[in-house]
Structure formats: structure tokens, C-alpha cells
Structure 1
Amino acid sequence: MSDPVVGLILLGVLVVLLTAGLWIALALAGVAAVALVFFSNAPVGLVMATTFWGHSHSWSLAALPLFILMGEILLRSRLSADMFSGLAPWLGRLPGRLLHVNVIGCAIFAAVSGSSAATAATIGKMSIPELKSRGYPESLILGTLAGSATLGLLIPPSIILIVYGVATEQSIARLFVAGILPGLMLVGLFGAYVAARALLNPGLIPAFDQPMSLREKLWAARGLIPVAVLIAGVIGAIYTGIASPTDAAALGVMFSLLLAVLSGSFSRRDFLDALLSATRTSCMIAFILLGAAFLAVAMGFTGLPRNLAAWIGEMGLSPYVLLAVLTLFFIVLGLFLDGISVVVLTTSIIMPMVLAVGIDPIWFGIYLVLVVEMSQITPPVGFNLFVIQGLTGIDILRIARAAFPFFLLLLLSVLLITLFPGIVTYLPDAMSG
């Protein structure tokens, strides 16, 4: 049976399981089992057991529940409300107003967590209730959150850039620096989209509150100081080499707990509620990650990603045509694989053809992350969609529709860095010089 037919069969099985109402993680594991039973000779039970065990104690992912806990603590303290009240006067006159808090908040937290799922969970916990209570449209709340949370994959420290750097033997420091300008570009594109929607439909956004003087704005902004101290502490610990991202996540929990207690709005009951909620959210994400890991391993046994990549390499394409084909290839893979799995499964096959046509491997790493970011907001396997669904209980297709404009913006960003590669390479080259 040909590889495209096998791929369509597995995709069909996944769609059937999801539409039947099966849990996402179980649906992913079910497709993996079907792939192993019918399209490989690997023992299903052994592969599943070793995959679940091997991925259940990943040190790099240990930061995830810690960052989620940090967000839960901030949510239950006065700090999250202070952040909105501090930003609101400054953003109130911008088209789109407080929706920009979603974009800016995700960008800031991405610089702390390095994880798209953690960014979506943490910022979502803070922003969704606030924006809903203020009357902002649901589609833009969900869309800006799902799209902006993808910045967690790009803005350093990025877990997926570390994986790519190790897999391709590229400098992780250069990759981190290369992600800065594209990350800022995405923040600008997302903010411009929100502003354009607001300008085209003025009735979409709630009216601005009473104008404030500069002194009143500065006084309101004092609520941003604790959050700024928290972010500076976590980021500073990572970039000075004092702590790894996981250690910095633990520091973030300590700082957020200390600031919450000092704010006078955080009780012992709040702390217990934060622990329980963080546990539930972390378990939800971890369960999905285990199912996705099992599916990724199963796909490796079937040889589908490897054969499709090799097939592309045999075409002898020019750099631009190769990138166009690879973009489509990664989008299709992203429909049913997580980003790290896509990188791990394909880089060893794709990198030789990328280097053969003269594409800079540092540039290609950022390109790959941007394309993989799309998979975070495309069903049926879009982790940001799952996280937001877990937070809100809203149907995943509604969330996907709200996030679709941001998928197109990510596609535009890929086009921009292809036409203007200096967006990616300028800072790494300057650092080397």
C-alpha cells in the first residue's frame, strides 16, 4: 500500500475517533496502535510502554507544570488584575485596545517559558476571564490567545530550538539570537491584525474607559512593577546562566508566590486551589503529549515521514520551490504530529537537501519553527487549541476558526523571512562579527 494511502487512512481514523468524542490523548494513541498493527511489524504493547515511560520523565518538559503553577498563582492573586489595570490606560487608545494585552502578554511570557502550551495556559488563565468580563468578542479573545501563544516556540528560550540545534549540530546561542527579530515581527503582525479588525468594525471593540492624565496612567502602571520584577528575575536567571529553564521555572514559582503573598490578596486556600488547578492542566497537557509521542514513534515505525521526505529530495528542486514544498509537507505533518516530533523525525533526512541547495541552517531553523507554529493552531492535533479548549470548554473547531487568521499571518511571516532573510540572519551575523 502506498504511503499517501496509508497517511489518508490514519488521518481518517483520527478524525473518526475525535468526532466520536474520544479524549484527544486516547484518539492519538488509538491511531498509533492502528499504524503499528496494520502498517508495521513493531510490537504495539512494548512500543507503547517504552514510549509512555520514556516521555513521562523528560527533564526539559519539567518546566511546563511549574510555569503553569506560576500562572495559576498570578491568576488568584491581585497581580493579574493589576497587570490589566496597569496596561489598560496605555493601550486604551490603540485600535483593538485590551486585545493587545493577549499579544504582548504572550510575547512576554514566551520569553520566560519557551513553551507554546505553557504560554497558552498561563496567559489564557489570566486574560480570558478579564476580557470576557469587559465585553470583548469571543472570536478575537480566542484567536489572539491561540495565535500569540505560538510565540512560545520562537522567542528564546525555546525548547524546540534547542531540539533543532542538538539534532543539526548548530549553535543554540545563535539560534536563540536569530529568533528575536522574527518574534518581534510576529508580535507586530498580530497587533496590526487586531488593529485592522477594530478599525474596519468599530462596534466590535468595547468603548474606551474615561481618559486619564499621564500622572494617573503612571500611578495605574505601578501594578506592572511586580510582574516586571518576576519576568526580569526569571529571564535574568536563564540568560546569565545562573539557572536552566526548569530551574528558572522553579524560581518563577517562588517569586510569584512571594509577590502574591505580599500583595495581601493570596490566602492558603488560594494556594491549594492553584496547586489543584495546575495539576489538572498539567495532567491534561502531559496526557496529550504522551499520546502524541506514541503516535510520533508509530509514524517512525511506518516510515511515512522518512519516505515522504526522501521523495521530496529526489525531485531536484530549486531553493524556493523546495521551501514551498517543504512548507506544505510540514503543514500536513503538523495535522497529526506535535512540533518537536516533526523536527526529530525529519531533520536528519531534510537537512542534507537543505544544505545542498545553499540554505543557511540557522535561517532554516527559524523557518522550521515558524512552520511548526502553524501546527499548534491547526486541527485535529493543535496543542494550543487543546489547551484553550481545556480552559474554556469551547468546541475545538470554534477555536480553530478563531485562530485561522493567525495561521495566515504565520504563513505570511514565512514568506517575509524567505524574501528578506536578513530578518533572521542579521543578529546572528552581527554577534559573530
Structure 2
Amino acid sequence: MEFKNTRDFARSLDKEDLLAKYKDEFIFPEVKGKKVIYFTGNSLGLQPKTAAKYVEEVMHNWAQLAVEGHFHSSKPWWDYHERFPGKLSKIVGAKPQEVTVMNTLTVNLHLLMVSFYRPVGKRVKIIVEEKAFPSDQYMIASQVRYHGLDPETAVVEVKKRPGEHHFRTEDILKTIEETGDECALILMGGVNYYSGQVLDMETITHAGHKIGAKVGWDLAHAAGNIELKLHEWGVDFAAWCSYKYMNSGPGNASGCFINEKYHGSREIPRFEGWWGHNKERRFLMEPAFQPEPDANAWQISNAPILALAPYLASVEMFDEVGMPALLEKRNKIVAYLEFILEEIGREVKGDFEIITPSSREERGTQLSVFLHGEGKQLFNYLMENGVITDWREPNVIRLAPAPFYCSFEDMYNFGQILKEGILK
């Protein structure tokens, strides 16, 4: 399709957009009396209008039933988490029994490493990407130290080549091959939070298994954003937060994937609690742990129902629309945003450098842009004029036009505000 940088053209795309109606299903902040153009769904998604209803349902049941709400509320609390796997499994490409919801992201990665980082002999190393999100860096280093090892020698970083913004798959594979039987675990971010690059998870997973390592993925920026096939790829484990592209609310619950080949074992090391115990015998208060036959064996405590309620509201919207439709719009709106950036760059003779890969296979919703020659005052101008975006030092803005609630006219309007901010 040949794009045009005009309001009429943008509106024509919105008229053709089958997901356009969902924009009205979200609550937008306002600046100067107008709804913002929201580009930060990669940090915190907007609130679905149905979220309050789901929370209020829990509050009402609590008020009316108190403890009996565990079994007699409209959505009983004792199995509330079981409403997620069937729907989430479609989003992450898993079998329903391989998915559960619990805790928060870094907590879950820690718990999963109890099971899947088992250093022994010379097989002690963890392969990670250079400058991973800080929380992952802290978590991995602390796990290594917990096992009495030194992160300086046990953590192997895959680096970008000098002057390049992306990781090369061949460099990752070379690091995996060179580490060989010293590698216990590969744990990387499926989508790089800074550049928006999507790693070749299938190829990397197969390479890790070839050398006998376990392979896990942090999908914080991937779940609800890109196509995932965790079961088909043979991934050992993965975890994701729900508050970015999945719009569940700040700091909300995390989803987990544990490959079915690890289910049903009482021998696998893990930290255990009574919500992972055999559901049919849970309230018999038996001393010996009997794991649930699926990913729920990794549950520890009873579910935080008030946190899960808005997540369920969002997951049901994802299930209604389906990932194929979201991915189709994502590809189109990101391409249009890219076109707008290029057009405005030519008009203002600006030096914009999009550091997110250009191929669909290597990017999701996010475009990261170097604004060479521009400082943070441009970011401030955007924010003051209703464009909510994200700034990363030294001069990168991250733009994530989430397909649920961003329109093509938003992309056009952003371009005009960007131009005004540069020329003012």
C-alpha cells in the first residue's frame, strides 16, 4: 500500500480498521482537554473500561459473602486463576496446561530458575544478552551468587557489534556453541526493551538444547505484542508481566509457561506451597506435597483475586479479538508510523534514525528512534501537547502504537505535533 501523510488518508485507514471500535473500550488521560496520543503501552497499557466492573464484582462478592466467596461468588476465588490458561495459551502459543498466572514477573523468574538453573560440575554458566533490563541483570547475578558462584565468570553476555544497534543471531549462536557444555541456562528477553528487536527465539532455543542447556525467555515486551509459539519451539520455561501490552494495571500479576515435559514430577526442584498441591486434596491439609498435574504445580499461594480481576477483563478482550487480527493491525499501524517519521524527517530536514529492525519478523509494536540533533526539550514538548511517549538517554524516544487503542489518525497527528516541536 502506498501511504500518504494526510489526515484524510489516515481517516480512510481507520474506516477500514476492524479493530477501530476497541479504542472506545479504553480510558485515556487528557491533556488540554483532549485525549492523549498514547505511545507507552510498552510500559503500561491503558485501562480497559471493563476492568472496574470486574474489580467491583469481586468487591461485591467479598461484601456479600465474605469467606464464602471462595466457593460461592459469581467467579469462585479458589479456582479464579484457572480462567486464564485457555485464553492465555492462545496468546503465547502453548497448551493450556502449560500456562498459569501467579505472583509478578521477576518473582516468577526467580522461582522458575529454582527449577531450571541447576549448576553442577563445569555446567554452571548462564548466557544473557548485553544490557538486559536491569531487573533481569540483578536477578541472574543474585541467583548465581546464591549457588556460590561468581557472576563475573558464570554470566556470559552476548554483545552487539561495535556501532550496531541489534543483536545478530549468528553472534548469539556462536556464543552458545563456544560456551558448550559449560552452559546450564540461556535466559534472554524475547523482545529487547530498548531497541524493540525481536530475537529469533526458535533458533536460539534449538541451539541451546543442542548443547544440553535449558532455555527460558523473559517475555515482558513480547506477550500480547508478537506471535509466540512456546510449545512448538520447545521452550523450557517463560514468564511475562501483564501490565504492558496486556493492559492489566500497574505492577500486576505475571503469567508463566512451563513445558509439559516437566509436569507431574515430584522430583523436580521447585519452591512449593499449598496452591500447587493436588486441588482435589488441597483442603485435607496433608503433610506431603502432591503436585498439580500441570503448570499449576508451580503455584505457591492462593491467587490475589483483586489483582487478577482486571487482568481477566483484558484477557477476555484478547480472546474476543484474537492475536491474528491484532498482529495484522500492528504491522500496518507500525508501518504507517514509520512512514510518518520518514516524511516529517524530510520536511524538517531532521536526522531521525529508527534503531528498531525494519523487517516484520524482527520487530513488534515498538519503534525506537534516535532524534539526532534534538534534546529532551522535544520530548517535553510532545508530552505537554498530549503525546505520551518514553524517553531513554541520550536521545531516544520509544513509540509503541498498541493496536487495541491507537488509531491511524493518531499517527498523523503525532507527526504534525512532532514537526511543530522541531520548528518552534
- Quickly name the TM-score band, shorter chain normalised: under 0.3
Q: Give the structure-2-normalised TM-score.
A: 0.27
Q: Greater CA radius of gyration, 1 or 2?
A: 2
Higher strand share: 2
TM-score (norm 1): 0.27
Higher helix share: 1
